[in-house]
Amino acid sequence: MSAYKKEVWFTIIMSVILLLAGHVGFIFSIFPVEGNLFGFPIMYIVPILVGWFGIFILTIIAGKIGNHIDDAIDAENEENIKEQNAEMKGVR
């Protein structure tokens, strides 16, 4: 799979994950849950942990993975340029 295809799939998947994580509070308001987690009501603490902090952690992960994909794209572009230069020298 080319690096560009990986980037497209990564963008689609991370967009869905970020949307779901960001809307956990809305999901919990539709389906309220009784109970406590860390001494706080679940319907309040889970949206905060998954929403605010979850988005923060996902953003850091997405940045690191995105940097790796960008490096792969750069390496692939350099290979393509070398191949084109070799073909141009062979044609002349």
Question: Given this model, what pLDDT does residue 14 score?
Answer: 93
pLDDT of residue 23: 87
pLDDT score at 4:
82
Give the span between the Cα atoms of 83 and 15, in whole angstroms: 34
Residue 65: pLDDT over 90: yes
In angstroms, the CA 71 to CA 79 distance is 12
Average pLDDT on 23-31 reads 80
CB 6 within 8 A of CB 72: yes
